[in-house]
Amino acid sequence: MLRFENLCKRYGERTIFQGLRYSTGAGCVLLNDESGSGKSTLLGVLAGAIPTDEGDVWIDGYSLRTAPHDAKRLLAYVPDDCMADPLQTGRVYLERVASTRNTAVDSDTLDLAERFGLAPHIEKRFEQMSFGTRKKMFLTATALGKATVVIADDPGGGLDAAARAVLIELFKTLAQDRTVFFSSYDTGLAQACNAKSISFVDLGMTV
């Protein structure tokens, strides 16, 4: 479901990573490496939010370089700071995500939002939401449609114990037939999700 080959990212003369390659099917995969290693940059590249300087990413066989629309339609991305349009409400955000995935905000999605404690916040604008509330809104959107790959940067950040439990249940459910590729310093979260742990060395890091 998720495959990437020969990924390289540079900022000026600084090479963040080079020669990264990996392939995985359904299940949870934890990108576990030290702070400042480039995890957020790699996740942004895998989600198509940051351009790669070399290599390519395939989402269910669709290339982010040559078929970006098809690839992103099958992709859900939860960045570290989940700020959508600041003036957009949570409900409108979910509706727009649903539209891009050719689906609708159904009762299952609203039930997930309820379990995340989002009922009092869904009509708020993103600029009015806390960091954790924005994160839960993006996590709720991962369940919309047929996104076969979920990319998440520190998905447990800003969540209380109750929301963390909902996150674990969500990731375990998604991982039954989808790829969940995420970073986190929360080893308990990774273990609860039965995540396979990998580092940049496992991805063939050459720099």
Q: Where are the domains of the chain?
A: 2-198
- The pTM of this model reads 0.94
Q: Cα 59 to the chain's mean position, in Å?
A: 13
- Residue (of 2, 139, 147) closest to 73 by Cα position: 147
How confident is the model at residue 190, as a pLDDT? 93
- Residue (of 49, 65, 200) closest to 57 by Cα position: 65
Phi-psi region of 44 (alpha: psi -120 to 50; beta: other; left: phi over 0): alpha
Q: Which residue ranges of the chain lie beneath pLDDT 70?
A: 206-207
How confident is the model at residue 151, as a pLDDT? 98
Helix (H) or strand (E) holding 59: strand 54-59
Token reading at 58: 């395939």
Whether 45 and 77 have beta carbons less than 8 Å apart is answered as no
How confident is the model at residue 37, as a pLDDT? 84
How confident is the model at residue 206, as a pLDDT? 61
Fold of 2-198: Rossmann fold (3.40.50)
Token reading at 187: 């080893």
